[in-house]
Amino acid sequence: MSPMQISTTPSSAPVSDERLAEILANPGFGQHFTDHMFTVEWTPDAGWHAARIEPYGPLTLDPATAVLHYAQETFEGMKAYRHDDGSIWSFRPEENAARMARSSHRLAFPVLEIDDFLQAVDALVEIDQRWVPDPAGEKSLYLRPFMIATEKFLGVRPSQHVTFMVIASPAGAYFKGGVKPVTLWLTEEYTRAGRGGMGAAKTGGNYASSLVAQQEATAQGCDQVVFLDAQEGRYVEELGGMNMYFVHDDGTIVTPETGTILEGITRSSIIELAGKLGHQVEERKFSIDEWREGVTSGRITEIFACGTAAVVTPVGELRWEGGSAPAPRSDDLTMRLRQALVDIQYGRAEDTFGWMHRIT
């Protein structure tokens, strides 16, 4: 396949170096956006066309645009990391591209070729490379590729006009002042994904359906919500946007597999890393009773959640309506796995898995 032709219109008003330094000193998350954005469009007749990088700015959408009504949308979340020598890298980007292709299939979108996805992301990072923060304090440039239904049409069928874009936003450390365990709220009322539903796709609708449960968690003084399977309300699925792991006293690690969770790239990387450290990793159904009994008896020694934004975060207490289960006693392996992953991402440890992709 020949590479996609990308036309470039550089911004005539890029953020000043002075202002950029201010932003990068304290980027927060998802608040500031780089000078440019990438766009490519699709129609049945022309296929993917009009690939371009242009100044970052608002979109003009007709009020009847399909995505606004029926939520035909998919997205990805990934990061660009600056290494100490100044070079810029992404982490397993082909996995994001492949997952977006799977999500796109579920949302009845055309598939964007893996190479085109990679080229789009690399091109945006390259033109906005001054926005990739220095590595100190686990800063990075968060990348948000997304696909939306842009046909002006209120009928219900797959959109005949589709837009894929990439935007980028500098991100600070997820944990300010050190990694600390998150307290979880177990929702027994809401679920995020049912059999045959969209749980395995990265799509905004899954997040929309998680918000009310997250709101409940916050009202209960918890950091995050944990969802159970929709069918039996018995098996742990995941948090709103992070996968889960349970470390046992014999060294075995269990991560839920139900067919309706989102298969995180951090999740699969942890499986490989833990395996290399000599741990047996089981992907299987894991019941909420196993959790409660395990932390009480001490058989479960650590629990953690993982995703691109937070990398790996220890899990503390679990609460539900009328009860709670204590925090596991340790976070030893959790922190070792976290460090191992972060060291690879920032180029401080040898990339024996071949996970890193150099952008510039």
Ligand X SMILES: *Cc1c(COP(=O)(O)O)cnc(C)c1O
Where on the chain is the footprint of ligand X (CB under 6 A)?
77, 202, 206, 238, 241-243, 262, 264-267, 307-308
CA angle 307, 310, 311 (to 5 degrees): 60
* Closer of 210 and 301 to ligand X (Cβ): 210
Say if CB 171 and CB 140 are below 8 A apart.
Answer: yes
* Rounded least distance, CB 335 to ligand X, Å: 18
* Closer of 194 and 326 to ligand X (Cβ): 194
Residue 8 bridge partners (DSSP): 53
Alpha-carbon span 264 to 245, nearest angstrom: 12
What is residue 236's DSSP assignment? E
* Closer of 20 and 305 to ligand X (Cβ): 305
* Closer of 100 and 162 to ligand X (Cβ): 100
* Closer of 201 and 333 to ligand X (Cβ): 201
* Rounded least distance, CB 157 to ligand X, Å: 26
The residue whose Cβ lies closest to ligand X is 264
Alpha-carbon span 32 to 169, nearest angstrom: 6
Say if CB 255 and CB 244 are below 8 A apart.
Answer: yes
* Closer of 129 and 268 to ligand X (Cβ): 268
Alpha-carbon span 256 to 262, nearest angstrom: 11
* Closer of 240 and 347 to ligand X (Cβ): 240
* Rounded least distance, CB 242 to ligand X, Å: 5
* Rounded least distance, CB 17 to ligand X, Å: 31
* Closer of 53 and 239 to ligand X (Cβ): 239
Say if CB 297 and CB 242 are below 8 A apart.
Answer: no
* Rounded least distance, CB 143 to ligand X, Å: 11
* Rounded least distance, CB 166 to ligand X, Å: 16
Alpha-carbon span 295 to 339, nearest angstrom: 24
Look at the block and give the residue holding tokens 């899990």. 315
* Rounded least distance, CB 355 to ligand X, Å: 12
DSSP string, 262-321: ---HHHHHHHHHHHHTT--EEEE--BHHHHHHHHHHT-EEEEEEEETTTEEEEEEEEEET
Q: Which two tokens stand for residue 313?
A: 């975060």
Cβ neighbours of residue 339 under 8 Å, at least 6 residues apart?
Answer: none
* Rounded least distance, CB 309 to ligand X, Å: 7
Alpha-carbon span 140 to 82, nearest angstrom: 7
Cβ neighbours of residue 110 under 8 Å, at least 6 residues apart?
Answer: 42, 47, 48, 104, 162
